[in-house]
Amino acid sequence: MNPIAQSLIWWLLASLCVSPVHAEPSTLPAPEGPVLLEISGDIRYTNAGDEARFDREMLRALPEQVVETDTPWTDRSRRFSGPLMRDLLARVGARGDWLKVEALNNYSGEIPISDVEEYGVILAMSRDGEPLAVRDFGPLFVLYPFDEHSELNTETIRFRSVWQVAEIHVY
């Protein structure tokens, strides 16, 4: 190998070690367990036609965020955990400005993606270390960090805090 080619190869290898590679996921694996969440709309990564479907383990594979907060629906501060909504949206390559979040009982709320980015909204999967049951906001609950931002204590935000989440449509 000539010295120029060898130098180029060494430079490329060294730059890979110094600079992190930020590759986007090219595929989304299929769920192996019962589907908890379907995401549709303006998304890039799918695993079931034009939808992205997630089981509990796929959601748990995303980085977990813990939010300790009082809510309008709980008697005291509780510890909720689950992935950040912005991480979930990044995982499916969401490209819209709004989310329509639909519950198991067909209630729906519309959430601007700017809320998700600005406030660290989570898709709560557990409360005080226990998985959320359907009778207690579960299996998934759009949760704003109410105690961290007093401006979130409004009727508008309460209507956006959908529980028993089954579907998210990005538009």
Tell me the pLDDT tens digit for each residue of 25-77: 568 999 999 999 999 999 999 999 999 999 999 999 999 999 999 999 999 99
**Mean pLDDT confidence for 107-136:** 97
Domain-wise residue ranges, the chain: 27-170
Q: Which residue has the higher pLDDT, 3 or 168?
A: 168
Fold for the domain defined by 27-170 = Sulfite Oxidase; Chain A, domain 2 (3.90.420)
77, HSE (Cβ side, Cα atoms, 13 Å): 8
Share of the chain above pLDDT 90, in %: 84
Residue 3 pLDDT greater than 80, yes or no = no
**Greatest extent of the chain over all pairs of C-alpha atoms, in Å:** 73
Distance from C-alpha of 114 to C-alpha of 6, rounded to nearest angstrom = 48
pTM of the shown model: 0.84
